[in-house]
Chain A
Amino acid sequence: MEKILTINNLTKKFGHVTAVKDLSFSIEKGNVYGILGPNGSGKSTTLGIVLNVVNRTAGDFHWFDGNTTTHDALKKVGAIIERPNFYPYMTAVQNLSLVCKIKDVPREKIEEKLELVGLLERKNSTFRTYSLGMKQRLAIASALLNDPEILILDEPTNGLDPQGIHQIRQIIKKIAANGTTILLASHLLDEVEKVCSHVVILRKGRKLYSGRVDEMIASHGFFEVSAGDNEKLEAFLQQHKAFGKISQENGIITAFLSEPLDASELNRLLFEQGIALSHLSKRKESLEDMFLEVTKDQSN
């Protein structure tokens, strides 16, 4: 696999505070990565370092094959960090022309990218007249001007209203569908779960997990069941070899699978035992459950 970004033992200290500690991971072409972590876990600092705006304390990183300088590599990267930053007195087109000059790309793409994010009608309005959602969309258009090898998004939906969040997500999905590598930092887990194939989980500047999302949620899932006679049901489930942990709450029994089992198969088995279910659902743990599980062990 072609590597886009490699980070080795990266450390950043702000005075006595260690924001990033001994972090290593790599980004491969074509995948959609999520960097997960609570606020203050070092996500933005890590991105700041690889984007040339924060100085590292120790460790190193390199873009692509490591033969280009960071600022030249960044011309092939599209990135938005936290708030969208543009010249408030310039129009969308003027701002994007400036970005084209910096990235050394022709100006032809400006209209196309503005159309992609739905800002073509407002292209001649100054940046200061834009709403937050429009500013964020302009930032995405700007990041896409060079048709980047990788798109880096840091909390792209922060502070947006539900409609704005939806628009941004649609755009990200559209971009991901084109095969662009994406690195998405967020603390919104469902957001990451919806679009990412890989995750890196950070907490207090350390890496807790990195790998595929579906491998992280590697369990066989769990059943939520209830019946008229819950005790008989629970007794049956406990003696069945496919089930591990079983708990009961509010009349619903939650049974975790230790090996694969179909919902229809379970239904048939129970019916043969004379247990008729009033509720049956099979679910997978969400990324949120797993995230809380992973970060829980590390507290203190």
Chain B
Amino acid sequence: MLRLLQIEFIKLWNNKASRFLIVSYFVLLTFIALIAAIKFDIGPVKFHLAEQGIFNFPYIWHFNSFIAAWFKLFLAIVIVSMVANEYSNKTLKQNLIDGLSKKEFVLSKFITVVVFAGISVLFLFIVSLILGLVYSDYNEIGIIFSDLEYLFAFFIKLVGFFSFCLFLGMLVRRSAFALGFLIIWQVIEGIATGLLYWKTSNSFAETVTSFFPLNSMANLIKEPFTRLSAVKSVANQIGEELTKDYAVHWYEILIVCAWTFLFIYLSYALLKKRDL
């Protein structure tokens, strides 16, 4: 395990472009803290985002994991290219000749993905904890450590998304085309979702679309904005009742885990079948 991770580390860390992207990703993740600095101070209108309750425990876990998930695109580039480059440099062939098995090759990529996701969660946890301790209105231990399932969902979401990238890199074998494919896939899901809602009942469409790979990952952490008390009170004033289920459900986790397994298994099956 450690050996596979070390192999991947040597490949990634010595590549300037990947190193730059990885470092930027983690720096950006830390910069969530800067949201706290958003302040408008125009005469009588005083607005300080940090004081609107977004950093209240346990809401902060939900809010930050939703925001942090956007940055995953940085690592997506790294992951797609770390697979596709092995094909274009033909180093995959050399790795196999040197005595790495095809299973170990896929595993070394997957472990790296899991480690990336793990470190992201750790970063997010620390940054959110500090922000919360500074700005939160509630500081009881029981409240601080409630709703941590959002961090778990964040982890599953990242692993699922990165596994999808890994599979695309393996399938398409060119970084740029694989990233293009990712965007096209998003569009396809969008069109399919639109058609389903248009042609069938809402509940049926919702059930089916919750099984789409990218949509299932997006479903894990619902948008947190309408949950803010400030937004709620505005909605109430205009006569709109916001009742939404924000929780992380076990079956949503299960769907993403199933996709993750499928992507990794398909990557392995592809590699096994191919003549290099």
Contact = CB atoms under 8 A, between A and B. Distances in A.
User: Do A and B come together as binding partners?
Assistant: yes
A52 B89 contact: no
Contact of B100 (A71, A81, A83, A90): A71
Contact of B16 (A51, A73, A89, A97): A89
Interface residues of A, number: 33
Contacts of A94: 10, 14
B273 interface: yes
A87 B91 contact: yes
A87 B100 CA distance: 16
B191 interface: no
18 contacts: A51-B97, A53-B93, A53-B96, A53-B97, A71-B100, A74-B97, A75-B98, A75-B99, A88-B89, A90-B10, A90-B15, A94-B10, A101-B6, A101-B7, A101-B10, A102-B99, A102-B100, A104-B99
Residue among B15, B91, B272, B273 with max Cβ neighbours from chain A (10 Å): B91
Contact of A101 (B3, B14, B15): B3
A88 B276 CA distance: 19
A85 B87 CA distance: 10
B98 A85 contact: no
B39 interface: no
Nearest to A49: B275
Given A52-B101, A53-B275, A85-B93, 6 more contacts: A52-B96, A54-B275, A54-B276, A71-B99, A74-B98, A101-B3
A184 interface: no
Contacts of B10: 90, 94, 97-98, 101
Contacts of B273: 55
Contacts of B96: 51-53, 71, 74
Contacts of B3: 101, 104
Interface in B1-38: 3, 6-7, 10-11, 14-16
A75 B97 CA distance: 8
B48 interface: no
Residue among B6, B11, B98, B101 with max Cβ neighbours from chain A (10 Å): B98
Contact of A72 (B14, B94, B99): B99
B104 interface: yes
A103 to B, nearest CB: 5
A53 B276 contact: yes
A183 interface: no
Interface of B: 3, 6-7, 10-11, 14-16, 89-91, 93-102, 104, 272-273, 275-276
Residue among B6, B91, B97 with max Cβ neighbours from chain A (10 Å): B97
B6 A87 contact: no
> Main SS of chain A's interface residues?
mixed
> Main SS of chain B's interface residues?
helix
Which 6 A/B pairs are nearest by Cβ-Cβ distance?
Answer: A75-B99, A71-B101, A74-B99, A85-B94, A85-B90, A53-B276
Contacts of A70: 101
B101 A69 contact: yes
A7 B97 CA distance: 17
Interface in A56-106: 69-75, 77, 79, 81, 83, 85-90, 94, 97-99, 101-104
A150 B259 CA distance: 42
Contacts of A81: 93, 97
A48 interface: yes
Contact of A99 (B6, B89, B98, B276): B98
B99 A86 contact: no
Contacts of B94: 85-86
Contacts of B95: 102
Given A86-B91, A87-B91, A103 B99 contact: yes
B86 to A, nearest CB: 9
A293 B99 CA distance: 39
Given A53-B93, A54-B275, A101-B3, A90 B14 contact: yes
